[in-house]
Copies of this chain bind each other. A is one copy, B any other.
Amino acid sequence: MALKVYADRMSQPSRAVLLFCKINGIDFEEIRIDILKNKQYTPEYKAINPMYKVPAIVDGRFKLFESHAILIYISCAFPGVASHWYPSDLFKRSKIHSVLDWHHSNLRRGTVGLVFNSVLGPLNGLPSKPEAAIEGEKILMKSLSKLETVWLKDGRFLVGSSQPSIADISLVCEVMQLEFLSEKDRDRILSPYKKVVQWIEDTKKATAPYFDEVHGVLFKAQKRIRERMATESGKTELKSKL
């Protein structure tokens, strides 16, 4: 029985897991859990992930959630995964754990704080939270600066690697969430970080053509959101709202 991946492509960790499966030619079934329709709260899904989050996997009798844990599991459970994604060398592997751990309270917290509170929440009927969005942007800018000066200091990919790892997949899928902002806001936020911008391009290339395929839903949603923002007076620029 094929690996089952429960995911919503609007969610960045879901995209990371789907992308990783596709790149590595893993035989899997994608089961959409529509988070905008609260499908993560059904009793059926609770039996798979009692935390009500996506993604989750079921591999035979084994269930797992948390995207980093899933990426590591897939790297180890499927022999076809190339070793650069999750190297067996203890030092390299430890550095990948370090950047993945850092991600949770830094890049991810910043991106979610900014994008959810300024765009995705209000679009889904939740009140806009400008203070939370500002706080998110602060964490995000600090995180991008650390990406540039620490994690991308010594190589094209994270932690000084010449080839991508599961950490590149996870973190680039996170940064792609900024596509939900206006083009001007996204560029204002990203453009000071030249290495980050280049790294996003390099990771896209290294994971083509699956990168664009998995992000197709995001690009469609982005188009609708940007059109809507453009028609709502005073909402064309995020900064003016903050």
Q: A94-B69, A95-B64, A97-B72 are in contact. Are A51 and B102 (CB under 8 A)?
A: yes
Closest chain B residue, CB of each to CB of A101 = B66
Please report the C-alpha to C-alpha distance between residue A230 and residue B136 in the assembled complex, in whole angstroms.
Answer: 36
Cβ–Cβ contact A64 & B101, under 8 A: no
Chain B residues whose C-beta falls within 8 Å of the C-beta of A73 in the assembled complex: 90, 94, 97
Cβ–Cβ contact A76 & B90, under 8 A: yes
A191 CB–B CB distance under 8 Å: no
Q: A50-B146, A102-B51, A149-B50 are in contact. Are A97 and B109 (CB under 8 A)?
A: no
Within the complex, the shortest CB–CB distance from A16 to chain B, in Å, comes to: 13
Interface residues of A (CB under 8 A from B): 50-51, 62, 64-69, 72-73, 76-77, 90-91, 94-95, 97-98, 100-102, 104-105, 108-109, 146, 149-150
Between A and B, 11 residue pairs with Cβ closer than 8 Å are A51-B102, A65-B98, A66-B102, A67-B101, A69-B98, A69-B101, A73-B90, A73-B97, A76-B90, A101-B104, A105-B108
- With A73-B94, A104-B104 known, 8 other A-B pairs at CB within 8 A are A64-B94, A64-B98, A65-B98, A69-B97, A69-B101, A72-B97, A73-B90, A73-B97
